[in-house]
């Protein structure tokens, strides 16, 4: 469904009266992964690691500095806005904060039907029928169709965002922290809805989150990002039971577990994420890594296979 190869997103830093470029923020720095048909790939990491930038680049809301993005085999990396229009139907996004992503002046029926109107996909009675069907499919009631966003609860607003994202029958949905603004009890309901929709509609998800417990539940495979790069990529079960990168180990330390094996292996993460402007030499994780050696300070480890279907970027593997 989606192939991303060597994706880079560098933002220039300008300073001085003439706004000259004095450096770059390496928000995403050579990321490669794929998402299969009907698959969910989780993208995790601390805030500022570049995962949201990856999601937006994939949707071509940002123009990548380098790399390649293919959707169903077609290269969309350099397409202009006009050519992108037809592809945009196939990929949609669900945002973290449903309140700020929904127009407060629009009625729910118009929020869900807006993309149908803009694309001229359905009009009149057919459009209304589709909106009503989407509304019910995401668990909202028909008598709420004329309500405004503020009349819905947080979970209902996220359902509204999901209905809108589904309106053009997409194949791939980028879910950008879709439940992190919701109460824990509501999170489970929204996650279950997303999983049901994936099964029914054969959707593919790129699921961006910092909460590993949520990612473990929903993902088939998981990629862990640190300072703009993927440091580990594996099937969810393998990654959670047998993490190969010290950063993944540390992230997992924060996830409650009843498995004593899991608990024993874990060390809590020390320090903050370094700046993506001034990245540490060698392995970017070395200032925080309890196993760092001289080699780690000097050489940048490459992402390589450490077991079947399991990649990690660490000199110790």
* Contacts with ligand SF4, 199-238, as mask; x by CB under 6 A: ----------------------------------------
Q: What is the DSSP string of 149-196?
A: GGGS-HHHHHHHHHHHHHTT--SEEEEESTTTTS-HHHHHHHHHHHHH
Locus of tokens 């990929």 = 91
Give whichever of 173 and 239 is closer to ligand SF4, judged by the CB atom.
Answer: 239
Give whichever of 98 and 228 is closer to ligand SF4, judged by the CB atom.
Answer: 228
Residue 173: φ, ψ to 5°: -125, 125
Report d(CA 185, CA 96) in Å as an integer: 16
Task: Using the rule CB under 6 A, give the single segment among 116-124, 154-162, 192-200, 278-286 that binds ligand SF4.
Answer: 278-286
Report d(CA 317, CA 304) in Å as an integer: 9
> Using CA of residue 126, residue 128, residue 133, residue 137, what is the dihedral sign?
positive
* Residue 292 engages ligand SF4 in binding (rule: CB under 6 A): yes
- Closest approach of ligand SF4 to the CB of residue 94, in Å: 32
Query: Considering only residues 286, 303, 310, 311, which one is a binding residue for ligand SF4 as defined by CB under 6 A?
Result: 286
* Residue 178 engages ligand SF4 in binding (rule: CB under 6 A): no
Query: Considering only residues 33, 95, 152, 285, which one is a binding residue for ligand SF4 as defined by CB under 6 A?
Result: 285
The single-letter DSSP state of residue 281 is: S
In this structure, are residues 221 and 235 in contact, taking their beta carbons and an 8 Å threshold?
yes
Report d(CA 293, CA 301) in Å as an integer: 12
Task: Using the rule CB under 6 A, give the single segment among 77-85, 258-266, 271-279, 288-296 that binds ligand SF4.
Answer: 288-296
* Residue 163 engages ligand SF4 in binding (rule: CB under 6 A): no
* Residue 283 engages ligand SF4 in binding (rule: CB under 6 A): yes
Report d(CA 21, CA 127) in Å as an integer: 49
Query: Considering only residues 208, 246, 276, 303, which one is a binding residue for ligand SF4 as defined by CB under 6 A?
Result: 246
Query: Considering only residues 45, 50, 55, 301, which one is a binding residue for ligand SF4 as defined by CB under 6 A?
Result: 301
- How many chain residues bind ligand SF4 (CB under 6 A)? 13
């Amino acid at each position: 469904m989606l192939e991303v190869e060597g994706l880079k997103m560098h933002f220039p830093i300008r300073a001085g009266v003439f706004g000259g470029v004095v450096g770059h923020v390496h928000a995403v720095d050579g990321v490669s992964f794929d998402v299969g048909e009907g698959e969910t790939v989780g993208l995790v990491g601390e805030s500022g690691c570049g995962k949201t930038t990856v999601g937006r680049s994939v949707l071509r809301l940002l123009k990548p500095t380098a790399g390649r993005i293919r959707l169903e085999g077609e290269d969309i990396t350099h397409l202009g806005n006009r050519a992108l229009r037809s592809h945009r139907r196939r990929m949609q996004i669900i945002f973290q904060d449903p309140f700020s992503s929904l127009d407060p002046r629009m009625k729910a029926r118009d929020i869900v039907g807006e993309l149908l109107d803009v694309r001229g996909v359905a009009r009149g009675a057919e459009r209304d029928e589709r909106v009503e069907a989407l509304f019910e499919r995401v668990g909202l009631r028909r008598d709420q169709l004329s309500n405004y966003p503020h009349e819905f609860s947080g979970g209902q607003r996220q359902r509204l965002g999901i209905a809108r994202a589904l309106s053009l029958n997409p194949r791939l949905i980028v879910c950008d922290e879709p439940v992190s603004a919701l109460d824990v009890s509501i999170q489970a309901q929204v996650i279950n809805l997303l999983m049901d929709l994936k099964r029914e509609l054969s959707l593919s998800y790129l699921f961006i989150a910092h909460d590993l417990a949520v990612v473990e539940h929903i993902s088939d495979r998981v990629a862990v990002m640190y300072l703009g790069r993927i440091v580990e990529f594996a099937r969810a079960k393998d990654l959670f039971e047998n993490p190969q990168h010290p950063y993944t180990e540390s992230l997992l330390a924060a996830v409650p577990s009843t498995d004593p094996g899991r608990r024993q292996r874990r060390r809590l993460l020390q320090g903050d994420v370094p700046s993506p402007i001034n990245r540490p030499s060698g392995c970017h994780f070395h200032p925080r890594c309890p196993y760092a050696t001289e080699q780690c300070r000097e050489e940048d480890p490459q992402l390589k296979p450490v077991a079947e279907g399991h990649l990690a970027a660490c000199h110790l593997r």
